[in-house]
């Protein structure tokens, strides 16, 4: 059942991927600016320019360019960075691990701490704790990442000197970026967990679980948590892509290598192939995230598994 | 077996239930009837000790089961009774099972918890109970999820859960309200058989007087969180002395008799915040007089039955 569901879900990704690839391909052409300008030395002739344009295939029909591009993508050939003059695949391979580490840790941090906080606040209904949680959630969902990053750097790195201001040397350099990206996630996951648990508690079947003589602890762990997890998984799945996206600015603020830094630099230089590859990676992460989320949900909920997709 | 005396329930400052009394013995069925909002479910939740779950508390009275007062029972001991000695069947089978879990494990829980059985023994027990409830292919059903079954089938599963530990008392809170008419009759008959076969004490909560007439030995009529009349079923149906009971009986559709249609009772049940002073029924009562709006009536006892109406002595002389 779950296999069939996964297969159907994968089939659905085909049209989605196609549209995304077209959008990514087009975005670059809609942006003002031209990478060739960055390459040309001052005083180059029009012939030099035409030659460069021809070399990168920029003179051909857009549709042809798209198919050439997508064909290369399928073969894992991301081409050559126009400005950085290195294979794009190398650049991505070099930067991706940094982003994955940061994103993975931030994801783990926000999901575990968020679910724990949400569960505690749903179970221990204490007015002071409640007010604290509310404040925290509000803060977490409104404070922008880059601003929080600057605050954290100012306090922990500049004033206290506990963590490095920037760079990617050793685990200490990960603490602040992970906190920055994870903070909003913790608040979000905590809120969703809390609401989902409170909703689950109000369900009719909970009365009957108590009437069977089960203890509140057993009911929470075996019956309420799985229900609460359904919306949490949806949110977390969306977060996978979101965290990588959120990492874009945070990597930049902390001066860390990674897809985000690469993307921002490439954007500045109008380095099309690099921008496209980075965007493609991010889009892939978002799609994979939702796919994993949906499959995880289906594995937990028989009603979803049986729905005809 | 189970004896409730003068039960009162409050949520914060409001007290939607007060002065409810009834008792039921093995092999006996007591009906609790009343319109929506009269406090039937609250009574059930009180006996199950589940009021804290909905934020309520018992303000007075006793619930004596097997010689001990349940209102003073610690939660730990109460858990042994719930599902063990006292089973509950709720109103809506569509939502009373955990949709994420298969049927088998949900029923197995009871035998594992109360009969100390391991997983295999509990499953055997589950299949046996499903069999006695005339559920075809129990082993297959155990492997199903709730959403794959009909309402009537789910209600049988709920009944199986309530029965799995061989309880002494079964509380059925409107067990058929959410079901098709044909299925309703089956479930009521099933419960009736169980009482006889297993010597159960059944508390049957319903708003349907005809069900009471068919299956119950005794009845408590509730209105606005109070018992207004109680007694043996024959006595109450022969000579209802409370105008509310009379109205309920008059509402029973009587097949060919064209004149006594489903008339319904004029007006609506008052909400907790505006329970009227005096007799709670007076705004809707056809017999109300001045005293009814000021003084709450006391029970007028006659044999095994009693009615809380100022005119209980004369009321039955002019049946509705
Ligand atoms: N959780 C609650 N908080 C406050 N008041 C409540 C709560 N639950 C029930 N009540 C009040 O208690 C009264 C009796 O409710 P109860 O559910 O026992 O009625 P009922 O007789 O079972 O009705 P129905 O036929 O609709 O099931 C209602 O008027 C309601 O306002
Ligand atoms: S006491 Fe009065 S209002 Fe109440 S039921 Fe009797 S006659 Fe009606
Ligand atoms: Mg009810």
Residues of chain B neighbouring A211 (CB-CB closer than 8 A): 48, 50, 82-83, 87-88, 90, 162
**Position A294 in a domain:** no
From A80-84, A233-237, A261-265, B253-257, the region with the lowest mean pLDDT: B253-257
**Position A218 in a domain:** yes
Q: Which residues pair with B23 in a beta bridge?
A: B3
Distance, in Å, from the CA atom of A292 to the CA atom of A66, rounded to the nearest integer, reads 29
**Position A155 in a domain:** yes
pLDDT at residue number B318: 52
Residue pLDDT, tens place only, A1-16:
788 888 888 888 888 8
Q: Which residues line ligand 1 (CB under 6 A)?
A: B 11, 16, 34, 36-42, 54-56, 207, 271-272
Q: Which CATH architecture has domain B2-85+165-315?
A: 3-Layer(aba) Sandwich (3.40)
Distance, in Å, from the CA atom of B44 to the CA atom of B53, rounded to the nearest integer, reads 13
Q: What's the number of domains chain A is made of?
A: 1
**Position A38 in a domain:** no
Confidence of residue B261 (pLDDT cuts 50, 70, 90): very low
CB A252 within 8 A of CB A261: yes
Find where tokens 């500049």 sit: A158
pLDDT at residue number B259: 45
* CATH, residue A107: 1.10.3720.10
Which of B83, B92, B100 comes nearest A212 by C-beta? B83
pLDDT at residue number A305: 83
**Position A26 in a domain:** no
Residue pLDDT, tens place only, B195-235:
999 999 999 999 889 999 999 999 999 999 999 999 999 99
Instruction: Please state the atom number of ligand 1 nearest to the C-alpha of residue B35.
Output: 25
Distance of CA B106 to the CA centre of its chain: 23
Q: Where are the domains of chain B?
A: 2-85+165-315, 93-164
**Position A234 in a domain:** yes
From A146-155, A239-248, B146-155, the region with the lowest mean pLDDT: A239-248
CB of A202 within 8 Å of a chain B CB? The answer is no
Surface-to-core class of residue A81, CB atoms within 10 Å of its CB (0-12 exposed, 13-18 middle, 19+ buried):
buried
Q: Is the CB of B282 under 6 A from ligand 2?
A: yes
Confidence of residue B2 (pLDDT cuts 50, 70, 90): very high
**Position A275 in a domain:** no
Nearest alpha-carbon partner for B148 in A234, A16, A307: A307
pLDDT at residue number A152: 77
Nearest alpha-carbon partner for A294 in A19, A1, A2: A2
Note whether B147 contacts A207, CB cutoff 8 Å: no
Distance, in Å, from the CA atom of A210 to the CA atom of A219, rounded to the nearest integer, reads 8
Three-state SS string over A59-119 comes to CCCHHHHHHHHHHHHHCCCCCECCCCCCEHHHHHHHHHHHHHHHHHHHHHHHHHHHHHHHH
Residue minimizing CA distance to atom 4 of ligand 2: B279
Put simply, the chain B residues between 131 and 160 with a CB less than 8 A from any chain A CB are 145, 147, 158
Distance, in Å, from the CA atom of B256 to the CA atom of B234, rounded to the nearest integer, reads 22
Nearest ligand to the CA of B229 is 2
**Position A285 in a domain:** no
Residue pLDDT, tens place only, B51-90:
999 999 999 999 999 999 999 999 999 999 999 999 999 9
Instruction: Please state the atom number of ligand 2 nearest to the C-alpha of residue B310.
Output: 1
């Amino acid at each position: 059942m779950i296999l069939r569901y996964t297969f159907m879900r994968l089939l659905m990704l085909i049209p989605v991927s196609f549209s995304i690839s077209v959008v990514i391909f087009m975005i670059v052409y809609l942006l003002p600016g031209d990478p060739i300008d960055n390459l040309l030395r001052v005083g180059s002739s029009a012939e030099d320019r035409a030659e460069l344009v021809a070399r990168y295939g920029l003179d051909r029909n857009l549709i042809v360019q798209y198919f050439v591009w997508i064909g290369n993508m399928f073969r894992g050939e991301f081409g050559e960075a126009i400005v950085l003059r290195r294979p794009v695949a190398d650049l991505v391979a070099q930067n991706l691990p940094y982003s994955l580490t940061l994103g993975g840790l931030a994801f783990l941090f926000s999901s575990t701490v968020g679910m724990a906080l949400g569960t505690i606040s749903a179970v221990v209904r204490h007015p002071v704790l409640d007010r604290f949680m509310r404040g925290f959630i509000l803060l977490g969902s409104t404070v922008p990442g880059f601003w929080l990053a600057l605050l954290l750097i100012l306090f922990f790195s500049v004033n206290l000197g506990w963590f490095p201001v920037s760079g990617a040397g050793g685990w200490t350099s990960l603490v602040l970026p992970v906190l920055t990206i994870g903070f909003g996630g913790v608040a979000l996951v905590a809120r969703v967990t809390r609401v989902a648990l409170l909703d689950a508690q109000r369900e009719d079947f909970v009365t009957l679980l108590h009437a069977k003589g089960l203890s509140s602890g057993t009911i929470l762990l075996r019956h309420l948590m799985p229900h609460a997890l359904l919306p949490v998984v949806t949110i977390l799945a969306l977060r996978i892509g979101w965290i990588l996206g959120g990492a874009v600015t945070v990597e930049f603020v902390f001066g860390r290598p990674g897809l985000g830094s690469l993307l921002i630099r490439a954007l500045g230089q109008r380095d099309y192939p690099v921008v496209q590859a980075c965007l493609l990676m991010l889009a892939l992460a978002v799609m994979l995230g939702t796919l994993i989320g949906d499959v995880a949900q289906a594995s937990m909920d028989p009603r979803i598994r049986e729905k005809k997709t | 077996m189970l004896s409730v005396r003068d039960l009162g329930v409050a949520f914060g400052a409001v007290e939607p239930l007060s002065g409810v009394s009834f008792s039921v013995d093995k092999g006996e069925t007591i009906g609790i009837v009343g319109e929506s909002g009269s406090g039937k479910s609250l009574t059930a939740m009180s006996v199950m000790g589940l009021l804290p779950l909905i934020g309520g508390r018992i303000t007075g009275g006793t619930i004596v089961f097997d010689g001990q007062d349940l209102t003073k029972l610690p939660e730990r001991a109460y858990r042994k009774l719930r599902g063990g000695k006292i089973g509950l069947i709720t109103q809506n089978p569509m939502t009373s099972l955990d949709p994420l879990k298969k049927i088998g494990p949900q029923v197995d829980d009871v035998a594992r918890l109360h009969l100390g059985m391991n997983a295999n023994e509990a499953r055997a027990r589950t299949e046996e109970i499903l069999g006695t409830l005339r559920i075809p292919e129990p082993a297959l059903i155990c492997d199903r999820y709730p959403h794959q079954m009909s309402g009537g089938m789910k209600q049988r599963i709920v009944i199986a859960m309530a029965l799995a530990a061989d309880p002494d008392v079964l509380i059925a809170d409107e067990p058929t309200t959410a079901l098709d008419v044909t299925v309703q009759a089956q479930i009521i008959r099933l419960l009736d058989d169980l009482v006889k076969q297993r010597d159960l004490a059944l508390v049957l909560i319903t708003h349907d007087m005809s069900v009471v007439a068919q299956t119950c030995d005794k009845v408590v009529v509730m209105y606005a969180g109070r018992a207004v009349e109680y007694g043996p079923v024959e006595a109450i149906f022969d000579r209802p002395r409370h105008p509310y009971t009379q109205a309920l009986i008059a509402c029973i559709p009587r097949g060919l008799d064209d004149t006594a249609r489903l008339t319904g009772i004029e007006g609506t049940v008052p909400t907790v915040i505006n329970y009227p002073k005096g007799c709670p029924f007076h705004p809707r009562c056809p017999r109300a007089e001045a005293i009814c709006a000021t003084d709450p009536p006391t029970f007028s006892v006659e044999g095994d039955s009693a009615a809380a109406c100022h005119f209980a002595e004369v009321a039955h002389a002019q049946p509705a």
